[in-house]
Chains A and B, each alone.
Chain A
Amino acid sequence: MAASEVEETLKRLQSHKGVEAILIVNHDGVPLRSTMTVEQTKKYAEHMSSLCSIARSAVKQVDGTNDLTFLRVRTTKNEVMIAPDKEFMLIVVQNPHAEDTATVAPLATAAAGASAFDDDE
């Protein structure tokens, strides 16, 4: 994947509905990219990485051949999605029920007699 594609994906990710913050830290806990304030970044980096290692340990203890690929923590206010890796960790905080304009076409109500798509081109 080219670097530009990665950048593009990052930008797109930020523009999705409800995404509050994106954070990338390397394996030492040093933040590489962050859209949060410095204190928040530090807090997230520290606590999420320890959560990750505990989760990974738990998964591995249960079945040694298994491994942790993703972690999703749903809280009352938002959802934190963590992609841990040996070299880095990707954290995205999203609140999918935030009241703001959606970037995808509005969904039709699932009543009988579904309406047609709006043709907005």
Chain B
Amino acid sequence: MASTKPSGGGTRRKTRARRAVDEVPDVPRQEFVRPANQESLTPAQLAEDVPRSLMAKDPNLRSNIVCYSFADNAFKHIPGGGGDDSVVFHFVMEGCLLHKDGDEAASQLAAEKSVREDLRARRRALEARAQEAGKTVAEVEEEEGDAGGRNQFNFSERAAQTYAPLMRDRGISTAPPETLEFGATASRWEAYDCYRAEFERLKSEEESGGLARPVLRPEERGGEATVHSAACGWSLKLLERMVVQNAQDELFSDFRFWEDESDMYKPGGMGTLLPLWRFSDARAKRKMVTAVDTNPRYPDLVAVSYGSYDFMRQGTGVVAVYSLKNPAFPEFVYTMDSGAMCLAFSPAQPSLLAVGCYDGTVRVYDVRKGEDRPLYASDIRSGKHTDPVWGVRWQSDPMAKDATFVSISTDGRVASWVLSKNELQMETLVSLKLVQSAAGGGDGAAGSGPAGAGAASAAGAGGAGGAAAGGAAGAGMVVADDEGTLTGLAGGCCFDFNPFAPHLFLVGTEEGRLHKCSKAYTGQYLETYEGHSMAVYAVKWSPFHERVFLTCSADWTVKLWDHMTPRAVAVFDLETAVGDVAWAPYSSTVFAAVAANGKAYVFDLDVDKHDERCVQKIVKKAKLTHAAFSATDPILLVGDSSGHVNSLKLSPNLRRITDIPVPEVKKGEAAPQPPSRLEVEVGKLNAVMLAMDVRAAVPIDSVTGKTVAPAKAGAGAGAGAAAAVP
């Protein structure tokens, strides 16, 4: 850009113009951008003229349009190409010009002409009138007014407008309804669950609830209520068991799997007892274990009663039910005012637990209920013993409507209690008459006195009274007093019913004597044995053999008897007072005894008739009071006087179970039936007894038959060194 100096006029003008164009910055410059794919034409082509014309008629229109006509039901050829569609109007204007030669024009001209003539005529008339009246045309017009036009005096235009309503927009928006998002999965098992739950609900409405897993009720939902609900409690209980099992993993493994290998190498088949758990409860501290019983239906449940054997120091009593599945804490605990001395689970209804107390009352608890109240409790009105109750046993009479159990006490009575609808009913079965022995064995007379509420059930009781005293038929037995006055009743310490003959039972007394009695004949003892020299602590029938029983006493001995023979078949002398003796459920020749020196003894008569298979000190400073075998597990439960129940695992030597011999098949005969376990066990015990005492194998005609040869000195216990003759 050259900056030229202004020189001449013309030149100045030119340059000024040029500068004006050049220096205006706002003029947009046009820039041409060529796209890459633009077609490039030659200048000749560019200069070519392309004609474009507008036509009214569509040049592309076809001339051979054919259309279907419904009127003629045929295709018709439309000439001229389809009518209105094909004509394009580019510009239309309605004109207002008429041709002067046309019709409309002529009529219009005629109308205009007539209007003009009319007006002229009127004017002439008006002028004529004006001339007559002598006024001007204007005045006349004023007077007459314009006849054809508007009334200019009282013509008013009136317009009115209607009231326009005020338009208003009003709206409401409502709060949206509460929505809840719900999602669920539907699968086959969920549908099954619903049906199942419905079915269960219907079924449970019919029958009363059992021990089903508790379900949360609607009022238990929410927060604390959920935590405290029964369902949560149940889960917690199970979880506690799991936690305890984890914590005591080794103990549980030992319980299940430990077998002492060294038993194979021990001489004489000695065994050991492996201590496992120790059950105890804070509430039962410093109390003695007075009874241990396992539940017949649930073998892991163990009921333990706590009380005191010490006359001077009596406290409250506790009954605790433990489960082997949770050794840390009892499942149920019941407290009572006086010490609990004995208990028993009912075999017919395993949730019923009968407990006998130190103050002579008996109670029945239903273990299913969680409360501390007994189902039944005896008191003065319903009758109670006047001395501590030492033993309770349930009656398994299928004919009886109500459950019944029997208790024995040192007040000399064996009483039966009937669980009627709302109370306990007491009946004295037998009154244990005190007898003094002269020599040998024989019958004793016992009068069933009017003590207690109601007469004894058997017919033989009746008016026996004093007359029975004179009717003592047995030789050598002198009744302490005659004429029926009850001088004293023997104090019953323990008793047991024969599992094979339920009417027959044995009673052990404080004086050391044993009496065989029958429920059917309560007037007299069937037989009296010179049992021990001190109180008999336990008498137990063998679970296999119907004639054999064991007794243990404070006179340091355990005696094995056949109830047909008046003298003990075998005597085992232990070093101190024997608290309890128990038969093993798996073998007829195995039994355990526990003593006051804290030792437990296990005997297996099949292996050794005189010595124990195992003697082991279980507790250091306490006395062992009771023992019980577990029905299904190889466990021995031993209660001691310090309030603990120790569970011990029996080593294999102590658990020897004899095999059932396979009978040999003789040629030509069918294979005989192998003997049952019961037969095997009975046979075993018979063999043992035979070896101990020849008379044990003597057959007896009737149950109440007397022995043939009385007063044989010394129970021939084979080569028994430990035999002691009372």
Selecting from B72-80, B147-155, B224-232, B559-567, the interface stretch reads B224-232
Given contact pairs A5-B233, A87-B221, A104 touches B328 in the complex (Cβ within 8 A): yes
B399 to chain A, nearest CB (A): 38
B216 to chain A, nearest CB (A): 4
B242 to chain A, nearest CB (A): 5
Interface string of A6-35 (1 = CB under 8 A from B): 110110110011110000101000001100
User: B227–A24 contact, CB under 8 A?
Assistant: yes
Separation of A61 and B242 alpha carbons in the complex (Å)? 26
Interface hub of A57, A79, A87 (most chain B Cβ within 10 A): A87
Given contact pairs A104-B248, A104-B277, A107-B248, A117 touches B242 in the complex (Cβ within 8 A): no
User: A102–B247 contact, CB under 8 A?
Assistant: yes
Which residues of chain B from 582 to 622 have any CB-CB distance to chain A below 8 Å in the complex?
A: 598, 616-622
User: B258–A110 contact, CB under 8 A?
Assistant: yes
Determine the chain B residues whose CB is within 8 A of the CB of A114 once the complex forms.
Answer: 272-275, 616
Q: Is residue B646 contacting chain A, with contact meaning CB distance below 8 A?
A: yes
User: B227–A104 contact, CB under 8 A?
Assistant: no
Interface hub of B238, B258, B285 (most chain A Cβ within 10 A): B238
Determine the chain A residues whose CB is within 8 A of the CB of B598 once the complex forms.
Answer: 116
Determine the chain A residues whose CB is within 8 A of the CB of B216 once the complex forms.
Answer: 85-88
Q: Is residue B223 contacting chain A, with contact meaning CB distance below 8 A?
A: yes
Q: Is residue B387 contacting chain A, with contact meaning CB distance below 8 A?
A: no
B268 to chain A, nearest CB (A): 15
Interface hub of B228, B246, B273 (most chain A Cβ within 10 A): B246
Count residues of B near A (Cβ-Cβ below 8 Å): 67
Determine the chain A residues whose CB is within 8 A of the CB of B366 once the complex forms.
Answer: none
Determine the chain A residues whose CB is within 8 A of the CB of B231 once the complex forms.
Answer: 85, 87-88
- Chain B's closest residue to A72 (CB) is B242
Determine the chain B residues whose CB is within 8 A of the CB of A94 once the complex forms.
Answer: 243, 246-247
User: B230–A1 contact, CB under 8 A?
Assistant: yes
Determine the chain A residues whose CB is within 8 A of the CB of B163 once the complex forms.
Answer: none
Interface string of B231-244 (1 = CB under 8 A from A): 11111111110111
Separation of A64 and B613 alpha carbons in the complex (Å)? 53
Separation of A115 and B274 alpha carbons in the complex (Å)? 8
- Contacting A107 at CB < 8 Å: which of B221, B235, B251? B251
Determine the chain A residues whose CB is within 8 A of the CB of B247 once the complex forms.
Answer: 16-18, 94, 96, 102, 104
Interface string of A64-84 (1 = CB under 8 A from B): 110100101000000101010
Q: Is residue B51 contacting chain A, with contact meaning CB distance below 8 A?
A: no
Interface hub of B189, B273, B617 (most chain A Cβ within 10 A): B189
User: A87–B226 contact, CB under 8 A?
Assistant: yes
Q: Is residue B171 contacting chain A, with contact meaning CB distance below 8 A?
A: no
- Contacting A13 at CB < 8 Å: which of B236, B285, B618? B236
User: A119–B619 contact, CB under 8 A?
Assistant: yes
Q: Is residue B198 contacting chain A, with contact meaning CB distance below 8 A?
A: no
Given contact pairs A1-B233, A117-B275, A96 touches B620 in the complex (Cβ within 8 A): no
Determine the chain B residues whose CB is within 8 A of the CB of A38 once the complex forms.
Answer: none
- Contacting A112 at CB < 8 Å: which of B192, B230, B272, B646? B272
Determine the chain A residues whose CB is within 8 A of the CB of B370 once the complex forms.
Answer: 1-2, 5
User: B246–A79 contact, CB under 8 A?
Assistant: yes
- Chain B's closest residue to A66 (CB) is B189
A35 to chain B, nearest CB (A): 13
Q: Is residue B440 contacting chain A, with contact meaning CB distance below 8 A?
A: no
Which residues of chain B from 499 to 526 have any CB-CB distance to chain A below 8 Å in the complex?
A: none
- Contacting A9 at CB < 8 Å: which of B196, B237, B618? B237
Separation of A83 and B274 alpha carbons in the complex (Å)? 34
Determine the chain A residues whose CB is within 8 A of the CB of B553 once the complex forms.
Answer: none
Determine the chain B residues whose CB is within 8 A of the CB of A90 once the complex forms.
Answer: 232, 235-236, 239
Separation of A70 and B450 alpha carbons in the complex (Å)? 60
User: B274–A108 contact, CB under 8 A?
Assistant: yes
A70 to chain B, nearest CB (A): 7
- Chain B's closest residue to A118 (CB) is B620
B154 to chain A, nearest CB (A): 90
Q: Is residue B374 contacting chain A, with contact meaning CB distance below 8 A?
A: no
Separation of A92 and B238 alpha carbons in the complex (Å)? 11
Given contact pairs A24-B227, A94-B246, A104-B248, A6 touches B236 in the complex (Cβ within 8 A): yes
Interface string of B270-302 (1 = CB under 8 A from A): 001111111000000110000000000000000
A49 to chain B, nearest CB (A): 15
Q: Is residue B545 contacting chain A, with contact meaning CB distance below 8 A?
A: no
Q: Is residue B329 contacting chain A, with contact meaning CB distance below 8 A?
A: yes
Determine the chain A residues whose CB is within 8 A of the CB of B643 once the complex forms.
Answer: 121
User: B262–A85 contact, CB under 8 A?
Assistant: no
User: A116–B277 contact, CB under 8 A?
Assistant: no
Interface string of B189-211 (1 = CB under 8 A from A): 11011001000000000000000
Separation of A12 and B233 alpha carbons in the complex (Å)? 13
- Chain B's closest residue to A102 (CB) is B247
User: A112–B619 contact, CB under 8 A?
Assistant: no
Determine the chain B residues whose CB is within 8 A of the CB of A83 once the complex forms.
Answer: 235-236, 238-239
- Contacting B236 at CB < 8 Å: which of A10, A32, A65, A102? A10
User: A16–B244 contact, CB under 8 A?
Assistant: yes
Given contact pairs A72-B242, A104-B247, A121 touches B286 in the complex (Cβ within 8 A): yes
Q: Is residue B260 contacting chain A, with contact meaning CB distance below 8 A?
A: yes
Listed A/B pairs (12) with beta-carbon separation below 8 Å = A6-B232, A13-B236, A16-B328, A26-B226, A32-B224, A61-B187, A90-B232, A94-B247, A96-B249, A104-B277, A107-B276, A121-B643
Query: Which A residues lie at the B interface, using CB under 8 A?
Result: 1-3, 5-7, 9-10, 12-13, 16-19, 24, 26, 32-33, 57, 60-61, 64-65, 67, 70, 72, 79, 81, 83, 85-88, 90, 92, 94, 96, 102-105, 107-108, 110, 112-119, 121
Query: Which B residues lie at the A interface, using CB under 8 A?
Result: 187-190, 192-193, 196, 215-216, 220-224, 226-240, 242-244, 246-251, 254, 258, 260, 262, 272-278, 285-286, 327-329, 370, 598, 616-622, 642-644, 646
Question: Apart from A83-B236, A94-B243, what 7 extra A-B contacts exist at CB < 8 Å?
Answer: A1-B230, A26-B222, A32-B226, A83-B238, A85-B231, A116-B620, A119-B620
